[in-house]
Chains A and B, each alone.
Chain A
Amino acid sequence: MEKSTDTNLYMRVSQQDKAALEQLYDRYEKILFSFLYKMLEDRELAEEALQEVFIKIWRGKGVYDESKGKFTSWLFRMAQNTAIDLIRKRKQPSVPIEEAAQMVSNDAPVEQQVEWQEEKSQIEMAVQHLSAEQQKMIDLFYFKGHTHETIADMCNIPLGTVKSRIRLALKKLKISLHGMQERGAYDD
């Protein structure tokens, strides 16, 4: 249901339907901004990245088709890649922790909150199945946007080992999530 709504909106956007882009924006503003903020730790950069994401969508620089999987996976990957580009361009101090705490909010529409919470609890459970080392790998690789080389330097381990550990961590994550779906915990 949700997927078809997203795909439908996306198709309208590709025909330059502004209202559809606005709906897509409303739907994903909060999760994208929160995600980008988690990655960039800077409000202005998070906004810049979010804007870039929607410019890419609007101008057709990123093209989604359903054979690429879920719309959200595609959307989040585009956001993540955009944030990584910004991370690699800048090295600035991030927003103080206190400010970040003040920005935490729960006033999203109820259905968004529910959806978010469901996804969040699932992924949190899956992440808990990973070792501390694997969690660290995913954080450095996915959220901090570090290259394999940088992670190898930071963790003082060979490059090949970094790659295999990240891959193994992601594989384990996939298996955990898949297991939840099999057990019916996943309700898409």
Chain B
Amino acid sequence: MTNIDCDYLLDYLNGTLSIDEVQQFEEHLKTCTECQEIVEATGQLPYLADPVEPPTAMKARILANVFEEEPVQDNPTVALKPAMSAIPIRKNKSRRNTWKPLLAAVLLLSLLGNGYAFFQLSDKEGGPETAIQSFQLEPNAAFSGTATAELIEEDGLVNLVVQADRLAELDASQVYQVWLIKDGKPIPAGAFSPNPNGEGASYYQLEETAAEWDTIAVTLEPKAGNQLPEGEIVLSSEI
């Protein structure tokens, strides 16, 4: 048996012990007050660093990578409600090939404003994306917020990313709910709450292709989790 004692303190601090040795030293640490105190003292050394501004969107990148092995959550489509009339709008379609940075940005926003979108992030990274459609959502007359939506087809799946800003603060129970609509029949497709900067975002994956839908809309719902809209449409676009 190795006799791990105070002599190993520096190797422990410097990360040069094997995993077994670390475990043994930590056993020693439990009974050695002096080593304990030295370890605690070094625990304050990082505060000598001058504050440095983290890079933009680093949080989104890191957390996306940390969680990337998570299983995909099922998002079953559900039924519908009659008569949701979309606000007429102009189309604004575009194609791009790189959507990972977009997802990273969206994730950042969602982390700030809405944990929901976060849990939708899947391990689909790396699959061949085939198209991106981009829509500017049109606000209704009384609504000051703006939003864009991206439909990304990948391996027969549709990823819907919505980013919004200039949003008013909501009551605790309220939420902005995204809907995809076909012939007046909506299904929920993500939700978000504004962060303190008035920004919100959602990410949602569907099994249908983009051609299945004719409208995308955002409503202001009195509570999260509605399968059918109760609130009014605040933003919308034809697809």
A residues lining the B interface (CB < 8 Å): 18-19, 21-22, 25-26, 29-35, 37-38, 43, 47, 50-51, 54-55, 58, 67-70, 72-74, 76-77, 79-81, 84-85, 100, 103-108, 113, 116, 119-120, 122-124, 126-127, 138, 141-143, 145, 147-148, 163, 166-167, 170-171, 173-174, 177-178
Contacts of A29 in B (CB 8 A): 54, 58-59
Identity of the chain B residue whose Cβ is nearest the Cβ of A107 in the assembled complex: B53
Task: Knowing A18-B119, A47-B55, A141-B14, say if A34 contacts B41 (CB, 8 Å).
Answer: no
Is B46 an interface residue when CB atoms closer than 8 A count as contact? yes
Does B43 lie within 8 Å of A55, measured CB to CB? no
Does B40 lie within 8 Å of A69, measured CB to CB? yes
Contacts of B62 in A (CB 8 A): 25, 47, 50-51, 54
The winner among A35, A85, A170 for most chain B CB atoms within 10 A is A170
Q: How far is the CA of A55 from the CA of B40 in the complex (A)?
A: 24
Task: Knowing A58-B67, A105-B52, A124-B48, say if A167 contacts B41 (CB, 8 Å).
Answer: no
Is B98 an interface residue when CB atoms closer than 8 A count as contact? no
If over half of A's interface residues share one DSSP class (helix, strand or loop), that class is named, otherwise mixed; here it is helix
Contact residue among B10, B15, B58, B115 (Cβ-Cβ distance under 8 Å from A47): B58
Does A30 lie within 8 Å of B50, measured CB to CB? no
Minimum-distance CB pairs A-B, first 6? A73-B43, A81-B15, A105-B53, A35-B46, A119-B47, A174-B41
The B7-55 residues at the A interface (CB cut-off 8 A) are 9-10, 13-16, 26, 29-30, 34, 36-55
User: Given A30-B52, A34-B46, A38-B50, 5 more contacts at CB 8 Å?
Assistant: A47-B61, A54-B62, A73-B43, A141-B14, A177-B44
Is B179 an interface residue when CB atoms closer than 8 A count as contact? no
Contact residue among A22, A69, A124 (Cβ-Cβ distance under 8 Å from B43): A69
Does B48 lie within 8 Å of A147, measured CB to CB? no
Contacts of A84 in B (CB 8 A): 14-15
Identity of the chain B residue whose Cβ is nearest the Cβ of A177 in the assembled complex: B41
Does A51 lie within 8 Å of B65, measured CB to CB? yes
Q: How far is the CA of A166 from the CA of B51 in the complex (A)?
A: 26
Contact residue among B14, B42, B51, B67 (Cβ-Cβ distance under 8 Å from A106): B51
The winner among B26, B37, B41 for most chain A CB atoms within 10 A is B41
A-B pairs under 8 A by CB, number: 160
Cross-chain pairs A/B with CB under 8 angstroms, 11 sampled: A22-B63, A29-B59, A69-B29, A73-B40, A76-B45, A85-B15, A106-B51, A122-B44, A124-B48, A147-B16, A173-B38
Does B47 lie within 8 Å of A103, measured CB to CB? no
Does B9 lie within 8 Å of A167, measured CB to CB? yes
Does A51 lie within 8 Å of B39, measured CB to CB? no
Does A31 lie within 8 Å of B46, measured CB to CB? yes
Task: Knowing A119-B44, A141-B14, A170-B41, say if A35 contacts B66 (CB, 8 Å).
Answer: no
Does B43 lie within 8 Å of A72, measured CB to CB? yes
Q: How far is the CA of A136 from the CA of B46 in the complex (A)?
A: 15
Contact residue among A35, A148, A178 (Cβ-Cβ distance under 8 Å from B37): A178
